[in-house]
Each structure stands twice: as structure tokens, then as C-alpha cells.
Structure 1
């Protein structure tokens, strides 16, 4: 393998490993104690480098995502958080259907002010579900992502705790949570067992699904969506219904 290509492949491998290491740490830090056995998958974005005119970004979607097909993109704002009503300084559609990848935002003018990169699971700004900060001093590493946790299980109800990015309006954007039996994929899913819309424009809150009775010992999947389309899935939670 030519030396230049070998170096590029090595950089991509290191970026992917760093992405998942940071992602695992962020999820562990965000997650409250779980009432049952569960595992969560979320999207992610990290900034791996920058110059005066470029920003290097690694992204990760959910398992099975096809970011090019679904219109996913990465964007850069000259702000410390995503400013939801302001146009991005740069935007680039994901050029492949790889659920994990790296790309370079070009044609930007990076000065000594904070910048934020956002990763979107669809073509709209409201689909941004993960972000990474490039601080004014050039340091990186502060990341955030939409998450979903199972807070409690009632006799005929489930309470989920969700987290979205700073300043986000989940009810206005049409966010919702769906529930499936088994290990469901949002990209090839039947009709959900149940669903609930996020009803308040609150970044961190509970979403309660009523009128459901779980089968003890069975696996279920809960998914948080940024919009009505199933391809806007941002967080996926597998859990086992407890034996009462």
C-alpha cells in the first residue's frame, strides 16, 4: 500500500476509534441508573483537527443508517452551541452511506472564536442530534448528543428520559418516541407497538407511553426520532422487560 494511502487509512482508523471511545464516555456520563438491563446507541460528532480554512469531522450514525441516502449532513456554526435559527457558515452532505465516517469542511475562515459542528440525521437543521465544540483556543473534545434512557416501568406504562441539544425545541420539531418488540431497526421497522410525541419544548424531560403491557423477559426497542420519518432516528435503546 502506498505510504500516503497507508497514512490516510491509519488516520481514519484512529478517528473512528476515538469517536466511539468519546461516545461511550459521553453516554456513560449522561446515563442515569437503569431499572432493567439495557443498552443504548446514539449518534456522535467529533472535531479531529482544524486549520485556518478547514475543519476535520468524524461522525457516527445509528447501526444500519445510510447517511447519503437519507440526506444526513454536517454543518459548522460560529457559535459555542448550535444556533438553530442562524444559517451555518459551512454545510456538507455526507457523501457515502457509511454509518461511521470522516470528512473535511472547507472554505471556512476559522478565527479565535468558538465554533460548533452539528451532525444531522436528515436534511433539516431540526435533525441535528449531535454536536462538537471547537473552542476559541483551538481545543476540542466537548461533545453532546441526543440520548434516551428508560426511567421506570409501570403496570401499563413506560417512562423514558430524553436529552436533546442546548436550545432545541423538540415538540416544535415533531420529535417522538416509538416502542417495538424485539431488536428493531428504525430503517426496516414494522408499525410500532406504541408511540408518544414529545409534547413540550424542553431539552431534557420525560416521555410517557401509556396503555402498554410488556411481556416479562422479552426484549424491546425504544427509539427517539427527530422528525416523523423513521430515518431521523437519533437514539436507540434495547431493554429486557423485567420478570415481576
Structure 2
């Protein structure tokens, strides 16, 4: 079936019933966690994807004063720290805070600030909330993607991104490799942009052939779509999902 965004929205339940059944191997997203919290500081730790080079690829962690766990997408961050190492995981400390009075939300970004017409912090893919002293904790958030439907020549991917993000506007996209791992250096075998400005939704790819017993990996990128037939930015990967087709 040749998919369009309209078809996908209207027939999602039927597509799920008709889908080729695959075996999920693994799914992974970037995680951001809270370590130690004091009256005027908070330490954080992060775990990103295999092959990521946070310093080289411009990864950052930003913090805002905010009453809840949502990112103020276009408001200047209170502070931003550039990740200065190329190891996929690490930690950092934010100082000069006032946790007696204020709560804060932090966001891990897989790339630099976006330009005009896009959300400034649209590369944020993982968040963590620090309540004011005495406030209720909220679990950290990580973006995720998984297979929704696989047909004879098409595939859909269901995604969950931070609330309030506009993936279409920001140039978010998905890619599929016939491999057990997504790549930061090799363009995917198939790709398409995300065509909705929703934090929870589905994307699709047409013209894809799923081989019997073969293993594939979906990667979701927060920005960098250049268009079909042109190289897309590979360094803004937020999450992956690996699956094996039936034999």
C-alpha cells in the first residue's frame, strides 16, 4: 500500500491489524537523569546512543526556570552547557540556582539551536524536572520510536517526543538501515521526513522492501531533513528501534 499522511491518520487501526509481524530486538533513546540536588545546584547525568560524539556533534544540556516538566521551546535558557567530551555518556553540574523558590526543567539537545522559522530548542529530545524543595518529583522523559505497520512496500514508525515540540517544522525525519544499528556516518537505506507537528504521532516510508529474516534499525532525528535524494543530517539522532522480519 502506498501511504500518505492522510491514509495513515485515517486507517491507523486497520494498518496495525494488517501489518507483517516482526520481532522487536531493542529500542533505545537518549536519557537525562538527576543526580544530586542542593539548594543552589543540581548535578545531572546522561546516556546517549552508541556512536554519538556529543562534543563533535554539538550536544548541549540547557536549564530553564519552569513550573512543570515542559520545555519553553522558544524562551532563552537560563543556562546552557556544551558537552565537552566525545563519550556517549557523562555528567555535568548546574550552579547558581535557587531551589528554595523555583523549580527547573532541563533538556538534552542533540544539536545546536535551530534557525528562524523553527523552534529554537527543537533539538531537545530528553528532559528532566527538578522541583523546588518540597515539590513532587516527575520521572525523566526520553523520546522513543517503534514500528507501527509494515506492508509489502511501506512502513510506519510510531514516535513519542517531548510535549510541545513541532517535528515537521523543525525538519525531523526517520531513516531505516538494513543493519542491527543506526549510523552517524552512513545515510540510511530509506528515509522520509515527519509530516506532522505533533509530539506523538506516526511517520511513514514508501518504496521499502523488507527481506525475510533480515534485521533493520529505525533512527529518528530531531532536525536536519534536506529532502529526498539529498544527504540528511545524521548527528541529531534521538532514538532507535531494531527489529527482525519473519523468515
TM-score range (shorter-chain normalised) is 0.7 to 0.9
Q: Tell me by how many angstroms 1:61 deviates.
A: 0.9
Equivalent residues in 2 for 1:222-237 (5 A)?
222-228=218-224, 229-237=233-241
SS at match of 1:66: coil
1:36 aligns with 2:22: yes
Instruction: Note if contact 2:61-2:81 (Cα within 8 Å) is conserved in structure 1.
Output: yes
Correspondence for 2:155:
158
Instruction: Note if contact 2:181-2:217 (Cα within 8 Å) is conserved in structure 1.
Output: yes
Q: Tell me by how many angstroms 1:139 deviates.
A: 5.1
SS at match of 1:196: strand
User: For residues 242 and 197 of structure 1, what CA distance do their matches in structure 2 show?
Assistant: 27
Q: Tell me by how many angstroms 1:220 deviates.
A: 0.8
SS at match of 1:186: coil
Correspondence for 2:146:
149
Correspondence for 2:170:
173
Structure 1 segments unaligned to the other structure (5+ residues): 1-33
Instruction: Note if contact 1:186-1:231 (Cα within 8 Å) is conserved in structure 2.
Output: no
Q: Tell me by how many angstroms 1:43 deviates.
A: 0.2
User: For residues 159 and 44 of structure 1, what CA distance do their matches in structure 2 show?
Assistant: 24
Structure number with the bigger relative contact order (C-alpha 8 A, sep ≥ 6) is 2
RMSD of the TM alignment (CA)? 1.6
User: For residues 207 and 146 of structure 1, what CA distance do their matches in structure 2 show?
Assistant: 14
User: For residues 121 and 234 of structure 1, what CA distance do their matches in structure 2 show?
Assistant: 7
Which of residues 95, 100, 115 in structure 2 aligns to 1:106?
95
Q: Tell me by how many angstroms 1:108 deviates.
A: 2.7
Q: Tell me by how many angstroms 1:141 deviates.
A: 4.9
1:242 aligns with 2:246: yes
Runs of 4+ residues over 3 Å off in structure 1: 138-141
Q: Deviations over 1:151-206 (max 9, x none)?
A: 121111111101110111111110000011112432232x3221111111111011
User: For residues 191 and 42 of structure 2, what CA distance do their matches in structure 1 show?
Assistant: 38
Instruction: Note if contact 1:77-1:115 (Cα within 8 Å) is conserved in structure 2.
Output: yes
User: For residues 100 and 127 of structure 1, what CA distance do their matches in structure 2 show?
Assistant: 18
Equivalent residues in 2 for 1:112-131 (5 A)?
112-124=101-113, 125-131=121-127
How many aligned residue pairs are there? Answer: 209
Q: Tell me by how many angstroms 1:138 deviates.
A: 4.9
1:87 aligns with 2:84: no
TM-score for the superposition, normalised by structure 2:
0.80
1:59 aligns with 2:59: no
User: For residues 70 and 192 of structure 1, what CA distance do their matches in structure 2 show?
Assistant: 18
